[in-house]
Amino acid sequence: RAVESQIEGQCAPVDSLWRRYSEFELLRNYLSVTYPHIVVPPLPEKRADFVWHKLSADNMDPDFVERRRMGLENFLLRVASHPVLCQDKIFHSFLTQEGGWKEMVNETGFQLKADSRLKALNATFRVKNPDKRFTELKHYSDELQSVISHLLRVRARVADRLYGVYKVHGNYGRVFSEWSAIEKEMGDGLQSAGHHMDVYAASIDDILEEEEHYADQLKEYLFYAEALRAVCRKHELMQYDLEMAAQDLTSKKQQCEELATGTVRTFSLKGMTSKLFGQETPEQREAKIKVLEEQIQEGEEQLKSKNLEGRDFVKSAWADIERFKEQKNHDLKEALISYAVMQISMCKKGIQVWTNAKECFSKM
């Protein structure tokens, strides 16, 4: 909702908009490219993953669609609470304009700024002096993703077994109900105990539905791991470009020195050509030296600019990574505590059911 007061004579601001999942993807891609030093919040899964067998894996299932809607709302809240992303004009347009915001995104030319996967892969393997902090962060994100994936798989297996155990308790209800029909004095007690067993068996549906919300909280950080790696890849690309610029500058300085002194330090095709077809004239050599000197000057300025850009990136990225770590520690702690509290509550309900059943048996 727009919080600014309505100006007299103008139309009321829009307080409800329809957005497709693909539009959220476009917004996030734009933010990732425009703010490469920021750990951009992830989107919720488009199709259900890590589901236990009784849960629908259909991406159009109403319960899944509702959880995804909550995940998309959480994404918007994450962006809105970020000190940098919340100021983005296109993000504001996404929230307030019916149409036209896509055109604003395309006008930024963010697709042209997006680095190709091949270039990113090349940078990963060819960077000579990687930053140790980002290398360690990359390894951490891989391990975080592995741990949370395993945790979610374990939870899905536990949910499967728990569902089976609870539903089997429904058989108590059927047996007690049948038994009560042939027992005159014990019939009421058996019938009541069977009712408690039926309630117990049916309660697992709500319990596991509630569990899915805690699973979604863990999944968010499963996807955050990729956002962390994206920042690391951006730094690798910058480092790779810096090293290539330094290498190119060194090569040009060497060429200039060789032309000025007339000596060739390393084997080159040009050197062999000169020996076979004669040396260049002084005028030609002077012209080449002049061109190289201009290129060297440009290269030095470019290298200085890339060094400054790299330092700014590291400073900004590390500040945002520290902010993310604080957020992650707080969120995961709260999620795990809530999950434990839910399990305790579930066990207490089970104890209460059996306590009620015990009272029924005692009155027989």
Reading the block at residue 96, the tokens are 């307030």
What is the pLDDT averaged over residues 15-41?
91
* Short-list 257, 299, 226, 227, CA closest to 31: 227
Residue 108 has a pLDDT of 85
Round to whole Å and give the CA distance between 284 and 289. Answer: 9
Residue 27 has a pLDDT of 95
CA angle 177, 181, 185 (to 5 degrees): 105
pLDDT above 90 for 231:
yes
Minimum mean pLDDT among 74-83, 187-196, 294-303, 317-326: which range? 294-303
What is the pLDDT averaged over residues 183-211?
89
Q: What is the band of 334 on the pLDDT scale with cuts at 50, 70, 90?
A: very high
Superfamily of chain region 19-111:
Phox-like domain (3.30.1520.10)
HSE-CB of 304 using CA atoms within 13 angstroms: 6
Residue 138 has a pLDDT of 93
End-to-end CA distance of the chain: 61
What is the pLDDT averaged over residues 245-254?
86
What is the pLDDT averaged over residues 6-31?
78
pLDDT above 50 for 277:
no
**174-191 confidence digits (pLDDT tens):** 999 899 989 888 889 999
pLDDT above 60 for 53:
no
What is the pLDDT averaged over residues 315-344?
93
- Report, in angstroms and rounded to the nearest whole number, the Rg of the chain calculated over CA atoms: 32
What is the pLDDT averaged over residues 322-350?
92
Are the CB atoms for 139 and 191 separated by under 8 Å?
no
If DSSP codes are grouped into helix, strand and coil, which group holds residue 110? helix
Q: For the chain, what is the mean pLDDT?
A: 84
Q: Which residue has the higher pLDDT, 98 or 203?
A: 203
Round to whole Å and give the CA distance between 190 and 173. Answer: 9
pLDDT above 90 for 224:
yes
